[in-house]
Amino acid sequence: MLIPLLKGILLGFSIAAPVGPIGILCMRRTLTLGRLHGFLSGLGAATADAIYGFIAGFGLTLITSFLLDQKVILQLVGGLFLVYLGVQTFRSKPAVEAAKATGDTLFKSYASTLLLTITNPMTIMSFVGAFAGLGLGGSTEAGYASAISLVVGVFTGSAMWWLLLSVLVGLLRERIKGAAFLWINRVSGAMLTVFGLVAVLGELVEFLD
């Protein structure tokens, strides 16, 4: 089961690595709130990746079909939530001191990215294609074991990327002072808002067509 595990790690790392709204959110939180907030933000996305990987790996076609049928609604919700986060980020003022790592704020960092990633059901298509390409399925005992190993690998690989990103960006944080944080909030907030608006408008155009 080592080979599927290694394949899963590479798959999870490669799916997480492209910089999108989650990456921007993770970097901004690392810079303004600290490494732990940034890492937990990424871990929320890694959890969603593992959930979708599980669904794809075990061939849960009923759930897969439901998610794809509700694609427009889910992505509208995700897009609107992204716009909300973007506006809040743009308007927020830099903290005078480092944020305290309370359970509530850490949970919000984790849960918000979990919600954003889980409302993008097209992610599951990446895993369906990858699992099919790797010849893995859940129809036999060996298939179940391979699928479990691959899903664990996907979560591990994704988490490794977010840990690496938060550590590297955290090193940069120590060199950033004062007003720079305000511009970080404004730029990242604007980018998140654009990502959200593109998602919402894209789904509305598709729905109207």
Binning pLDDT at 50, 70 and 90, where does residue 159 land? Answer: very high
The single-letter code of the amino acid at 47 is T
> Where exactly are the structural domains of the chain?
2-73+90-177
- Which of 73, 71, 19 shows the shortest CA–CA distance to 45? 19
pLDDT at 129: 65
pLDDT digits (tens, 9 = 90+) for 123-136: 776 676 666 665 55
| Range picked from 17-21, 38-42, 70-74 for highest mean pLDDT | 38-42
Interval 187-197: pLDDT, tens: 878 887 888 88
Q: By the 8 A CB rule, do 58 and 138 touch?
A: yes
- Find, among 132, 163, 131, 171, the residue nearest to 148 by Cα: 131
